[in-house]
């Protein structure tokens, strides 16, 4: 599928990055900015949300769609870390100043024009993810830009400060459960202009914005704290918003899929407009076929009818072969329509006459002929069969008519949900600016010249400059510096390298690899704070801690963070050792093993090291010192030539750590 020429297609991509801020408190209340993980909630509150009249006095399209799926929403909360604000029982407190400052800093990094008077707006959501039914959001800056690695500059359209929505914890039937710990966590949303013309460039831009955000050390880094959406359009197509792009690696596949889909939809439009099909012929005239099909051989239809569902047919004039047209391998236009019906009605799908009705569904020829007659299906017409009743049926018919009518215009504007396989499915109608209303509960927020200038003074250098400078100064790979930034470890590194200036490799290994190993072993590495590393590295510097002992000590601290270095060493079974005794011990071991040395020569090193480590206590002296001592003591007992291996070994030890994988993926 790499036959796409993005330039010819007129591909335009814009990205939206949503990033949680690492402030102390939430945006509009004083609850902690902290997710509660798997902790069981203390209480539940049941709500039912309704669409409200929009500016035109009609139900907003996007909201109406959500309402069609209506069910109840249950909010799960905690007494100690959520309040009546999150539950929409108390008006907002004043907007958190720390959050405003963080976003101001980011806006400066993106060269944005700062809005002098922010107006808190409401963005309506009726999927239940916000108890109030709307998210509070404000625009803080506009018209910025970002330099890509290639030297190209892309426009940053806007930067917003807003509240995160609640997280869905489960869905039971028509009831959605949301955990409100995430609700109200401050987010910044950054949107680029759609002047990215290639999916790989989009990926790089998203990564670069992510790196920039993390370089401030004021944003969250945990899984789910960064989310991105992409907007795609091609010439003659329409803007499609794709939500839930969990990994940047997904972007190229999603874009390619959308290009193919839009091309096909445009093709279908051309066929329809040139052919005999007419929009006006698409009418809501369903025919009840229940009695005709009650004894059909198609098992699920028969069972459904028995359960009281209606089997309904409808004519789609002029659509023969259109539903069967693939917009992407294995995804037909019919799949598109069915997908939309499924999302909006909860029905499993639809049957259409471009399918193999006899082979796939076991319908009899007689039934098909009768259906064609009842629906007066002509040469160019298609028919759709639905197994449903009540509201779901009515909605499904409306959706099918709406979607087929839209096919005459080509690509309908939609918000779609990214799938892991690189495709995406209908999520909702594109809401856009119609969903935004002023928030009557909050006063406008003035950003003074003094404040804007004050924040300018704290803005740090660009991460790419930092990477360049560090890799030169400390002779480390740029990827390693990048990893330190992505993980938020650069400040810690700065502190530790002043203690141990000669060994950046060890410092980096300590704060990255060692912590990673502990994390992989399910140790609570959250407990490891800056002072632990400072004490540890100081211990190494003062030769109180052997390199081998570092990881065991850190492991102890993950469980007992308040222990001193001495106590942690004790707990880890590392005893202090008086160096002056070392020579005697080495000598003793050699004398005890003279036979072995005679027999195995240099090969005795291994067992002797084992004995020696046991004698001094594991981790109490650097293994390198031990082996060098042992080597020295062993030399007189060996034939002269085999001594030079030592050099090789040292070389190996000094090898820089492997560059970590391109970590910190969003």
Partner 1 sequence: MTNVTNEYEGYKLESIEILKKFGAKTWSKIKIENQMGISEGIILPRNKYAPDGMVEIKLKNGYNIGIPLDSTTKIEVISQEPKMEIKFDPITPAPNKNLPNLVLMGTGGTISSRLDYVTGGVIPAFQPAELFAAVPELADVCNLETEVVYQIFSENMKPKYWLDLAQSITKKVNNGVDGVIVAHGTDTLSHTASALSFLLKDLQTPVVCVGSQRSSDRPSSDAAMNLIHAASIAGKSDIAEVVVAMLGSSDHDYGFIHRGTRVRKMHSSARHAFRSIGTPPLGMIRESQISMFTTDYHKRPSPTVETYAAKKIEEKVGLIYAYPGMPHDLLDFFIDKNYKGLVIAGTGLGHIPYDLYPSLERAQEAKIPIVMTVQTLWGYTGMDVYENGREIQSYGVIPGQNMLPEVALTKLAWILGNYSNDQEIRTLISTNVAGEITKGEPINGYQIFQGVESHLVPEKHKTKSPKKKKK
For position 391 contacting partner 1 by CB under 8 A, the verdict is no
- The answer to the question of residue 574 lying near partner 1 (CB under 8 A) is no
Question: Which one, 342 or 435, has the nearer CB to partner 1?
Answer: 435
Q: Is 444 in the site for partner 1 (CB under 8 A)?
A: yes
Q: Of the candidates 433, 526, 578, 584, which one interacts with partner 1 according to CB under 8 A?
A: 433
CA dihedral 400, 402, 404, 405 (to 10 degrees): 160
* Residue from the set 104, 114, 476, 507 that interacts with partner 1 by CB under 8 A: 114
- Residue 56 is a binding residue for partner 1 (CB under 8 A): yes
Residue 542 binds to partner 1 (criterion: CB under 8 A):
no
> Is the Cβ of residue 3 or residue 449 nearer to partner 1 in the bound state?
449
Q: How many CB atoms lie within 10 A of CB 600?
A: 14
Provide the CA 102 distance to its chain's centre, in angstroms. 21
Q: How far is the CB of 171 from partner 1 (least distance, A)?
A: 18
What does the DSSP 8-state code read for residue 416?
E
456 binds partner 1 per the rule CB under 8 A: no
Q: How far is the CB of 448 from partner 1 (least distance, A)?
A: 11
Instruction: Check binding of 194 to partner 1 (CB under 8 A).
Output: no
Please list, in sequence order, all residues whose beta carbon lies within 8 angstroms of the beta carbon of residue 271, skipping any fewer than 6 positions away.
Answer: 322
Asked if 29 interacts with partner 1 (CB under 8 A), we say no
Tokens 């309040």 found at: 83
Binding residue for partner 1, selected from 3, 5, 40, 48, defined by CB under 8 A: 48
Rounded Cα gap, residues 368 and 370, in angstroms: 5
Rounded to a whole number of angstroms, the minimum distance from the CB of residue 40 to partner 1 is 13
Cβ atoms of 327 and 339 closer than 8 Å: no
134 near partner 1, judged by CB under 8 A: yes
Question: What's the closest the beta carbon of residue 300 comes to partner 1, in angstroms?
Answer: 33
Which residue, 83 or 574, has its beta carbon nearer to partner 1?
Answer: 83
| Greatest distance between any 2 Cα atoms in the chain | 105
Identify whether the C-beta of residue 33 lies closer than 8 Å to the C-beta of residue 180: no
User: Minimal distance in Å, beta carbon 224 to partner 1?
Assistant: 25
Q: Point out which span in 30-38, 114-122, 170-178, 270-278 binds partner 1 (CB under 8 A).
A: 114-122
Which of 3, 117, 365, 595 forms a contact with partner 1 (CB under 8 A)?
Answer: 117
Q: Does 40 bind partner 1 (CB under 8 A)?
A: no
Rounded to a whole number of angstroms, the minimum distance from the CB of residue 50 to partner 1 is 6
> CA-CA distance, 636 to 643, in Å (whole number)?
10
Phi, psi of 639 (to 5 degrees): -60, 145
Distance CA 210, CA 17 (A): 8
- Is residue 583 involved in binding partner 1 (CB under 8 A)? no
Residue 298, C-beta contacts closer than 8 angstroms, at least 6 positions apart: 361, 362, 363
> Which of residues 88 and 398 has its CB atom nearest to partner 1 in the complex?
88
Contact between 579 and partner 1 by CB under 8 A: the answer reads no
Q: Does 267 bind partner 1 (CB under 8 A)?
A: no
Choice between 8 and 55, CB closer to partner 1: 55
Q: Does the footprint of partner 1 cover residue 55 (CB under 8 A)?
A: yes
Task: Decide if residue 453 touches partner 1 (CB under 8 A).
Answer: no
413 near partner 1, judged by CB under 8 A: no
Whole-Å CA distances, 128 to 36, 69, 167, 178, 180: 20, 11, 10, 8, 11
> Cβ closer to partner 1: 448 or 564?
448
DSSP 569-619: HHHTTPPP--GGGHHHHHHHHHHHTHHHHHHHGGGGHHHHHHHHHHHH-TT
DSSP E strands, 210-356:
226-233, 240-245, 287-288, 310-316, 326-328, 331-332, 351-352
E strands in 37-152: 43-47, 73-77, 113-114, 117-118, 121-124, 134-147
Residue 136 carries which DSSP code?
A: E
**57 makes contact with partner 1 (CB under 8 A):** yes
471, 493 Cβ separation under 8 angstroms? no
Instruction: For the CB of residue 126, give the shortest distance to partner 1 in the complex, in Å.
Output: 5
Q: Which of 1, 147, 303, 446 binds partner 1 (CB under 8 A)?
A: 446
For 176, the enclosing helix (H) or strand (E) is strand 175-179
**Contact window for partner 1 (CB under 8 A) among 123-131, 469-477, 493-501, 650-658:** 123-131
- Between 443 and 610, CB nearer to partner 1: 443
Nearer CB in complex with partner 1: 117/421: 117
Helix 463-473 and helix 199-215: axis angle, to 10°? 70
Q: Which is nearer to partner 1, 42 or 465 (CB)?
A: 42
Place of tokens 């899929």: 257
Under the binding rule (CB under 8 A), the answer on residue 491 touching partner 1 is no
Out of 437, 541, 617, 659, which residue is the one contacting partner 1 (CB under 8 A)?
437
Half-sphere exposure of 535 (CA within 13 A, CB side): 17
Alpha-carbon distance of 198 to 203, in angstroms, equals: 9
Residue/partner pairs of 546-551 with CB below 8 Å, 24 or more apart: 546/574, 546/619, 546/620, 546/621, 546/622, 546/623, 546/625, 547/506, 547/622, 547/623, 547/624, 548/618, 548/619, 548/622, 548/623, 549/574, 549/618, 549/619, 549/620, 550/510, 550/514, 551/514, 551/517, 551/518
Query: What contacts 556, CB < 8 A, 6 or more positions away?
Result: 563, 568, 571, 572
* 439 contacts partner 1 (rule: CB under 8 A): yes
The stretch near partner 1 (CB under 8 A) out of 16-24, 50-58, 497-505, 538-546 is 50-58
Using the contact rule CB under 8 A, the part of the chain among 98-106, 440-448, 478-486, 574-582 near partner 1 is 440-448
Residues 6+ apart with CB under 8 A from 340: 399, 403, 426
* 173 contributes a contact to partner 1 by CB under 8 A: no
Smallest separation, CB 438 to partner 1 (Å): 3
CB of 168 to partner 1, least distance (A): 17
Residue with tokens 């004790």: 570
On the CB side of 291, CA atoms within 13 Å amount to 3
Cβ nearer to partner 1, comparing 433 with 578: 433
Does the protein bind partner 1 through residue 30 (CB under 8 A)?
A: no
Q: Which listed range, 134-142, 317-325, 463-471, 554-562, lies at the site for partner 1 (CB under 8 A)?
A: 134-142
Q: Which of 118, 298, 545, 589 binds partner 1 (CB under 8 A)?
A: 118
Q: Shortest gap between Cβ of 122 and partner 1 (angstroms)?
A: 8
Site for partner 1 in 67-96 (CB under 8 A): 72, 79, 84, 87-91
Shortest gap between Cβ of 307 and partner 1 (angstroms)? 25
Answer for which of 39, 50, 405, 472 binds partner 1 (CB under 8 A) is 50
**Is 115 among the residues that bind partner 1 (CB under 8 A)?**
yes
* CA pair distance 645, 544, nearest whole angstrom: 28
CB of residue 262 vs partner 1: minimum separation in angstroms?
A: 23
Which residues contribute to the site for partner 1 (CB under 8 A)? 42-43, 45-58, 63, 72, 79, 84, 87-91, 113-119, 121, 124-126, 131-134, 137-139, 142-143, 158, 160, 432-440, 444, 446
């Amino acid at each position: 599928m790499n036959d796409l020429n993005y330039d010819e297609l007129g591909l335009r991509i814009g990205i939206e990055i949503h990033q949680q801020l690492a402030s102390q408190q939430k945006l509009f209340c004083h609850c902690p900015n902290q997710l509660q993980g798997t902790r069981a909630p203390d209480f539940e509150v049941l709500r039912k949300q309704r669409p409200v009249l929009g500016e035109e006095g009609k139900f907003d399209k996007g909201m109406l769609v959500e309402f069609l799926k209506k069910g109840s929403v249950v909010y799960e909360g905690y007494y100690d870390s959520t309040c009546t604000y999150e539950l929409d029982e108390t008006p907002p407190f004043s907007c958190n100043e720390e959050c405003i400052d963080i976003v101001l800093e980011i806006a400066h990094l993106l060269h944005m024009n700062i809005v002098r008077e922010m107006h808190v707006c409401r963005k309506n959501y009726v999927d239940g993810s916000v108890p109030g039914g709307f998210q509070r959001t404000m625009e803080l800056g506009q018209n910025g830009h970002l330099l890509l690695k290639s030297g190209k500059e892309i426009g940053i359209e806007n930067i917003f400060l807003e509240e995160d929505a609640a997280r869905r914890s489960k869905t039971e039937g028509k009831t959605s459960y949301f955990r409100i710990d995430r609700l109200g966590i401050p987010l910044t949303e950054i949107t680029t202009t759609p002047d990215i013309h290639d999916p790989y460039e989009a990926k790089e831009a998203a990564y670069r914005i992510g790196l920039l955000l993390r370089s401030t050390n004021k944003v969250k880094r945990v899984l789910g704290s960064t989310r991105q959406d992409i907007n795609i359009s091609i010439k003659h197509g329409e803007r499609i918003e794709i939500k839930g792009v969990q990994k940047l690696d997904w972007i190229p596949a999603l874009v390619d899929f959308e290009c193919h889909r839009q091309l096909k939809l445009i093709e279908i439009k051309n066929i329809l407009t040139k052919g005999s099909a007419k929009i006006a012929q698409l009418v809501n005239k369903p025919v009840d076929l229940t009695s005709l099909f009650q004894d059909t051989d198609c098992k699920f239809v028969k069972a459904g009818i028995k359960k009281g569902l209606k089997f309904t047919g409808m004519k789609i004039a002029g659509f023969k072969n259109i539903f069967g047209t693939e917009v992407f391998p294995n995804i037909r236009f019919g799949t598109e329509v069915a997908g939309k019906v499924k999302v909006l009605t909860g029905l499993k799908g639809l049957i259409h006459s471009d399918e193999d009705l006899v082979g796939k569904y076991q319908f009899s020829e007689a039934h098909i002929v009768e259906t064609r007659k009842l629906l007066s299906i002509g040469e160019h017409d298609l028919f759709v069969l639905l197994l449903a009743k009540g509201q779901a049926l009515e909605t499904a018919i409306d959706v099918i008519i709406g979607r087929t009518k839209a096919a005459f215009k080509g690509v309908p504007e939609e918000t779609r949900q990214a799938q892991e396989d690189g495709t995406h499915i209908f999520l909702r109608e594109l809401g856009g600016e119609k969903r935004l209303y002023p928030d009557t509960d909050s006063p406008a927020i003035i950003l003074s010249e003094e404040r804007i200038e004050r924040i300018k003074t704290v803005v740090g250098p660009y991460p790419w400059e930092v990477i360049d400078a560090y890799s030169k100064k400390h002779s480390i790979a740029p990827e390693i510096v990048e990893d330190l930034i992505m993980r938020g470890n650069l400040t810690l590194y700065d502190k530790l390298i002043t203690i141990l200036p000669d060994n950046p490799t060890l410092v980096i290994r300590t704060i990255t690899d060692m912590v990673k190993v502990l994390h992989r072993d399910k140790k609570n590495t959250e407990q490891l704070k800056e002072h632990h590393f400072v004490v540890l590295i100081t211990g190494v510097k003062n030769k109180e801690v052997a390199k081998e002992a570092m990881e065991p000590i850190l492991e102890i601290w993950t469980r007992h963070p308040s222990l001193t270095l001495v106590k942690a060493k004790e707990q880890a079974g590392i005893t202090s050792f008086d160096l002056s005794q070392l020579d005697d011990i080495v000598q003793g071991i050699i004398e005890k093993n003279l036979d072995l040395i005679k027999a195995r020569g240099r090969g005795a090193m291994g067992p002797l090291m084992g004995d020696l480590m046991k004698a001094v206590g594991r981790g109490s002296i650097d293994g390198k010192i031990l082996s060098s001592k042992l080597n020295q003591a062993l030399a007189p007992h060996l034939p002269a030539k085999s001594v030079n291996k030592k050099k090789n070994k040292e070389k190996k030890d000094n090898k820089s750590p492997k560059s970590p994988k391109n970590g910190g993926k969003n």
